[in-house]
Amino acid sequence: MSYNLLKGKKGIIFGALNDQSLAWKIAEKAHDEGGEFILTNTPLALRMGELDALSKKCNAPVIPSDATSVSDLENLIRKTMEHFGGKIDFILHSIGMSMNVRKKRTYDDLDYDFYQKTVDISAMSLHKVLQVARKQDAINEWGSVVALSYIAAQRTLYRYNDMADAKAMLESIARSFGYIYGRDKKVRINTVSQSPTLTTAGKGVRGMENLIDFTERMSPLGNADASECADYVVTLFSDLTRKVTMQNLFHDGGFSSMGMSYNAMYVYNKSLDGCLDCDD
Ligand SMILES: NC(=O)c1ccc[n+]([C@@H]2O[C@H](COP(=O)([O-])OP(=O)(O)OC[C@H]3O[C@@H](n4cnc5c(N)ncnc54)[C@H](O)[C@@H]3O)[C@@H](O)[C@H]2O)c1
């Protein structure tokens, strides 16, 4: 069902790679709700070719940009404003990547070049997007920027590795920039801390299926899926949430407030044989 929540609103969506991506679902939902937007991803991601289908479906032009490159972002935001003939109203930052995770480097054996890339791609890129947008005065008053985060920013979840540090920084950037952008231009900035979800990035974390089973058992409402994430993010782009800013908003079926649930304890009791794989 559509409520026209984004009718007349224009934006940029970073990070749709394929139809499993959280950004893909958010783009579809934003389109259903009447929003217009530019899609963007790295030239490498675009070469995979899947974004064309989303672009056609949502009537959304694609402009390539690497979110770690300030000149790419300047070009993206300038071209976006040319395309729409003015400022925009929403930006989705749905970007994450860790070579340490990909290469199975443990947290006590990180490659530091990889670590810097993790932070640059997954956290500092939000600052770059905001700084470029601010300098070009690209976002209308009461506009909304949302970045996707994960509870490993607050709590240790083994194997999430250096991405936990990047998420903590991402959430901090949302607060620090949220003050300045809110004070000067009434632009709001929030992070949404989403349940684990089987996307390309999600599948990169070893043991993801088991983690999803665990969080499903722990959460009174069950895990939030990608389409539910899209529903939530669209409300944050809408005018219904104009005074929400500088927040990390858990979208996780209640997981973040749980200590132990009956369902998780039930499985734990059945397997008290000890920890078999405590390598990290
Ligand atoms: N999947 C999960 O379990 C989960 C849970 C919570 C939060 N998140 C976050 O959601 C966001 C989206 O991830 P996803 O799960 O949809 O996976 P995904 O792999 O579909 O999306 C990650 C995106 O980041 C893009 N990207 C990587 N490097 C980039 C760069 N330099 N510039 C621009 N884009 C770049 C990729 O091309 C890809 O489109 C990430 O921030 C991720 O950490 C995911």
Q: Which residue's alpha carbon is nearest to atom 44 within ligand 1?
A: 202
Supply 248's token pair: 């990390």
- Across 223-252, average pLDDT: 98
Pairing outcome for strands 139-149 and 88-93: parallel
CA dihedral 25, 27, 29, 30 (to 10 degrees): 160
Q: Are 114 and 98 in contact (CB under 8 A)?
A: yes
What pairs with residue 188 in β-bridges? Answer: 144
Sequence-ordered list of residues with C-beta below 8 angstroms from that of 16, at least 6 positions apart, any chain: 23, 24, 27, 39, 41, 51, 54, 94
The binding-site residues of ligand 1, defined as CB within 6 angstroms of any ligand atom, are 14-15, 17, 21-23, 41-42, 45, 66-68, 94-97, 121, 148-150, 194, 196-197, 199-202
**Measuring CA to CA, how many Å separate 265 from each of 53, 61, 218, 260, 269?**
44, 49, 9, 7, 6
Ligand 1 pocket test, candidate residues 94, 155, 216, most atoms within 8 A of CB? 94
| Model pLDDT, residue 53 | 97
- What does the pLDDT look like over 140-158, one tens digit per residue? 999 999 999 999 999 999 8
Read off the pTM. Answer: 0.97
- The three-state secondary structure class of 68 is coil
How many angstroms is it from 265 CA to the middle of ligand 1?
31
pLDDT tens per residue, range 52-97: 999 999 999 999 999 999 999 999 999 999 999 999 999 999 999 9
Task: Say which CATH topology domain 10-270 has.
Answer: Rossmann fold (3.40.50)
Strand order of the β-sheet with 188-194 is 36-40, 10-14, 88-93, 139-149, 188-194, 248-251
> From ligand 1's centre to the CA of 258, what distance in Å?
26
Domain boundaries, the chain: 10-270
